[in-house]
Amino acid sequence: MACTVIPAYNLGKRPFGLTTTTQWYAFSQWTTNGNLDYDIAIMRLAQPIGNTTGWINLSYQSDTSFFTSPSNDFYSFGYPAAHPLGTPVFEGGERMYYMNGFMDFWRTDKTICHYNIGYGGQSGSGLFHQDSFNIRRAYAVLSHGNLFPPYHTCHCRMDSSMFLYFNQIIAQSTETETQNSARQFLIYPNPTGGIFQIDFIEGLFEEIQIQLFDLLGRLVINEKLQSSQTKSTINMSSFPSGTYYIKICINGKSYVQRICKAE
């Protein structure tokens, strides 16, 4: 089943255009048995529209107090379309709204909840937290709620196994991006022992930004190049071995590749 994706849709306006989905990835515990602890999925898009809009990093957190601490503010954006009692609200899904706050309780080890009601149409909204470095990370997805008092809304939290599964799929998707980016720059050696080079093949770009993220979505390197530079040397010798993602923005267009640090 294909789905139409319209980023930042608002009252008929489509500022970034639209694309469609080509594939869905979900867990059999949900698709076969309806287990709400696994009510989470990702989808592959027909076009890399995220290179224009940007995206929120995926992450997970095993410390339950992270979600229930009043000092941590979480956000859930969505397009509410129906009141629990059937009354249409909020332009019938035509405008984006958001809720924010912290979680009140855990229903299970994978389901976190708060004491107010989400509306029909908001299911599937990512629950994200913005850290002190202004990095947004999605930890859960709005799943379900209680339609009658006491009202509450629950989110399916991503654990480490879900996170790794989704990142394997995302890594496969970046292979196509690697082919597209080959006309713009070259990264070598990859895998690297700690130091790697980026050569910008066409040279003389107006603006280049290089960001390196670890598998938890943490920004570990962030630098901008002068317009006259055609090379950049990145030193990640002090970082643990493993897979990282490098995001390169050239004149407003983003490219993402995997880079592996070996011992």
What are the chain's domains? Answer: 4-161 (2.40.10.10), 182-261 (2.60.40.3080)
Structure token digits, residue 219: 């920004």
Residue partners of 53: CB distance under 8 A and separation at least 6: 7, 8, 16
- How far lies 191's CA from each of 121, 137, 150, 248, in Å? 43, 26, 53, 18
* Burial class of 159 by CB neighbour count within 10 A (0 to 12, 13 to 18, 19+): middle
So what's the pLDDT on residue 39?
Answer: 96
> Of 40, 39, 54, 48, nearest to 21 (Cα)?
48
Beta strand extents in the chain (DSSP E only): 4-5, 19-26, 41-45, 57-58, 74-78, 97-101, 105-108, 111-114, 126-130, 136-146, 152-157, 185-188, 195-200, 208-213, 219-225, 231-235, 242-250, 253-261
Digitized pLDDT (tens) for each residue of the chain, 263 residues in all: 678 999 889 888 888 888 899 999 999 999 999 999 999 999 988 887 876 777 788 888 989 999 999 999 999 998 888 665 665 566 778 888 889 999 999 999 999 999 988 877 888 999 999 887 777 889 999 999 887 888 899 999 999 889 888 887 876 665 555 555 556 788 888 888 899 999 887 655 677 889 898 877 778 999 988 767 788 899 999 998 888 888 888 877 777 788 888 86
Contact by Cβ (8 Å): 172, 179 = no
Residue partners of 237: CB distance under 8 A and separation at least 6: 193, 194, 195
> Which one-letter amino acid corresponds to residue 16?
F
Please count the other Cβ atoms lying within 10 Å of the Cβ belonging to residue 36.
Answer: 17
Structure token digits, residue 4: 């139409």
So what's the pLDDT on residue 146?
Answer: 84
> Of 150, 78, 83, nearest to 115 (Cα)?
150
Question: Residue written as tokens 């609200």?
Answer: 89
Whole-structure pTM value? 0.67
Strands 136-146 and 57-58: parallel
